[in-house]
Chains A and B, each alone.
Chain A
Amino acid sequence: MREFTLIRARSAHDAVQAMTSHPEARLMAGGTTLYDLMKLGVERPPAIIDINGIKELGAFDTGGARELVFGSLARMSDVAADPRLVEDYPALSESLWRPASQQLRNMASLGGNVLQRTRCAYFRGGEPFACNKRVPGSGCAALDGVDRGHALLGTSPHCIATYPGDFAVALVAFDAVLDVLGPNGMRSIPVETLHRLPGERPDLETTLAPGEIITRIRVPVTTLGRASTYHKIRDRESYAFALSSAAVALSMKGGRVEQARIALGGVATKPWRARVAEQGLVGRELTIETALAAGFAAFMDARTGHHNGFRIELGARTVADALMIAAKRS
């Protein structure tokens, strides 16, 4: 691991200042992604800004009448176990306890989790594998490699790396917003606009400007919360990244779907909202047939590679099962 300068920030404002004076620095919260990638030599920051001492970012409040507010340094395990989330927003709670292990969830922050980097083995593996995300312009070893876990949606000829997180997928389904502090002050952006498509620059992963830090995550209070689930399908039942997942929330009226929210995880280059599939359900009865139709509609634009074609049907069935689970909660 490369040497680095250590900076300890005591406030979000400190962190922004430190990023301004050390433009190549990385923020470190739980460290479960960054420190791991530093060990692999994939991340080589000349400076680390330790933000764990910023008390103002650690709190969360799920009791508000208009929105749920989560400090970006709240830890995944604490938020997952919040009684209001478990009861009224099961998709959010599940998207925080189905990832990783309890050890990692005790460490990992919400902000860091949202910014978690891909698990693409060619990205993590380093030399001799080409990776446009790791070394811009070097190529993509995954295109002709083992792509069983790679993305079906949002890919480009330069990158097919899957966005691996769960929580951000549920956040996108619930129209969550990020508060971001930067050198020019505070701004708010929808979580859906945080991650970029890889396009020609897979190394540019987010729309955060230099020197910006996520301070809060806000979820609008909604009646869709209760009939929701984060359904996650993996190679093993626990402690694995998603082969496909779906965050789903519903409101039903007279046996028919009034509103539906569907977001996909594990199958796209970013947290993926499936609006066409949502709209196709509105006004219809929810049966396994209409649910499956919505599932396949969500994958209409999927592009398969060599080994990942099976995940179109798997993904469609994940959406369908998630819809049926959510409907039982309404």
Chain B
Amino acid sequence: MTTGPDPSSQPAQVNRREFVLSVMSVAAASGAVNAAPAPAQARPAQAATGVPLTFVVNGRQHSLAVDPRTSTLDLLREQLALTGAKKGCDHGQCGACTVHIDGRRVVSCLTPALQLEGRRVDTIEGLQGPDGSLHPMQQAFIDHDALQCGYCTPGQIMAAIACVREGNAGSPERIKEYMSGNLCRCGAYNGIVAAIGQAAGQMEKA
């Protein structure tokens, strides 16, 4: 097994077609979790760095070394201090962590950060205009009382914007089907559907 840098930085003529990025030793992290230490030979000898990643979040480029186990959600929240995306279930069942990657909505809790190389992430923090104006979807959620506690709201809004852009917001029935991956324990669903209907019209005009 060999260790290599980020494949995207490899010259094209490299004929080693399998790029191996070693785990690097994340011994500090795992040692704290596992009471029984793993046998010494299980620890790769490399320096404690991680997988090098370069990606863009809300228009800003980041280059970091990341533990390959990290989720995109944890990366956003814990390393980039973008706490808009919420950790509800951490298993792709609630939608509170929804963000856009390359313009498509995904659940960031089930997106390993290692998949972010060269990609563009958009979160709720990037929605506001330069003058501080709200996105029409944000305003529509306020107009229609589409929240109560607000915990699911960033995920709802990011999913809703994608739902409109996909062309899946043409009727209340279609909105309900294509927003079913975002749960709201407060039960603000009627307001959410109304808000998306309003914003859909405004986004299409814009």
Nearest neighbor of B168 in chain A, beta-carbon distance? A102
19 A-B Cβ contacts within 8 A? A4-B69, A5-B22, A6-B20, A7-B19, A7-B21, A8-B7, A8-B19, A9-B18, A31-B111, A48-B68, A52-B115, A77-B104, A103-B92, A103-B107, A104-B107, A104-B181, A107-B106, A107-B107, A239-B180
Q: Is the CB of B69 within 8 A of A103?
A: no
**Among A3, A11, A77, which residue has its beta carbon within 8 angstroms of that of B69?**
A3
Contact (A6, B181) CB under 8 Å given A28-B112, A31-B111, A53-B7: no
- One of A12-20, A59-67, A167-175, A298-306 contacting the partner: A12-20
A262 to chain B, nearest CB (A): 25
- One of A32-40, A146-154, A221-229 contacting the partner: A32-40
Nearest neighbor of A15 in chain B, beta-carbon distance? B18
Q: In the complex, which residues 58-96 of chain A have their Cβ closer than 8 Å to any Cβ of chain B?
A: 77
Interface flag for A238 (CB, 8 Å): yes
Residues of B near A237 (CB, < 8 A) are 180
Interface flag for B177 (CB, 8 Å): yes
Contact (A103, B106) CB under 8 Å given A9-B18, A39-B91: yes
Q: In the complex, which residues 139-191 of chain A have their Cβ closer than 8 Å to any Cβ of chain B?
A: none
Interface flag for A100 (CB, 8 Å): yes
A137 to chain B, nearest CB (A): 23
B122 to chain A, nearest CB (A): 14
Q: Is the CB of A6 within 8 A of B23?
A: yes
A84 to B17, CA, bound (A): 36
B residues bordering A, Cβ < 8 Å? 1, 7, 17-23, 26, 30, 44, 51, 68-69, 71, 90-92, 95, 98, 104-107, 110-112, 114-115, 159, 162-163, 166, 168, 176-178, 180-182
A13 to B107, CA, bound (A): 30
Main SS class of interface, B: mixed
Q: Is the CB of A102 within 8 A of B21?
A: no
Extra contacts, 9 of them, besides A17-B17, A40-B91, A101-B180 (Cβ < 8 A), are A4-B69, A5-B1, A6-B20, A7-B21, A8-B19, A18-B20, A102-B159, A102-B162, A102-B181
**Among B22, B90, B114, B176, which residue has its beta carbon within 8 angstroms of that of A50?**
B114
Contact (A31, B23) CB under 8 Å given A17-B18, A102-B105: no
Interface flag for A10 (CB, 8 Å): yes
Interface flag for A106 (CB, 8 Å): yes
Residues of A near B30 (CB, < 8 A) are 2-3
Nearest neighbor of B68 in chain A, beta-carbon distance? A6
Lowest 6 A-B CB distances belong to which pairs? A101-B181, A238-B180, A239-B180, A6-B21, A106-B104, A1-B69
Interface residues on A, range: 35 or more
A50 to B19, CA, bound (A): 10
Q: Is the CB of A104 within 8 A of B177?
A: no
A289 to B51, CA, bound (A): 61
B9 to chain A, nearest CB (A): 12
A10 to B90, CA, bound (A): 29
A9 to B114, CA, bound (A): 13
B50 to chain A, nearest CB (A): 10
Encode contact with B along A229-251: 1 for CB under 8 Å, 0 otherwise: 00000000111000000000000
Residues of B near A35 (CB, < 8 A) are 71, 110-112
A115 to chain B, nearest CB (A): 16
Q: Is the CB of B18 within 8 A of A238?
A: no
A13 to B180, CA, bound (A): 38
Residues of B near A238 (CB, < 8 A) are 176-177, 180
B142 to chain A, nearest CB (A): 24
Residues of B near A8 (CB, < 8 A) are 7, 18-21
A13 to B44, CA, bound (A): 26
Q: Is the CB of A4 within 8 A of B180?
A: no
Residues of B near A48 (CB, < 8 A) are 68
A13 to B91, CA, bound (A): 31
**Among A2, A3, A52, A107, which residue has its beta carbon within 8 angstroms of that of B110?**
A107
Contact (A104, B68) CB under 8 Å given A8-B7, A31-B112, A238-B177: no
A229 to B65, CA, bound (A): 47
Residues of B near A102 (CB, < 8 A) are 105, 159, 162-163, 166, 168, 178, 181
A261 to B105, CA, bound (A): 35
Residues of B near A53 (CB, < 8 A) are 7
A308 to B91, CA, bound (A): 26
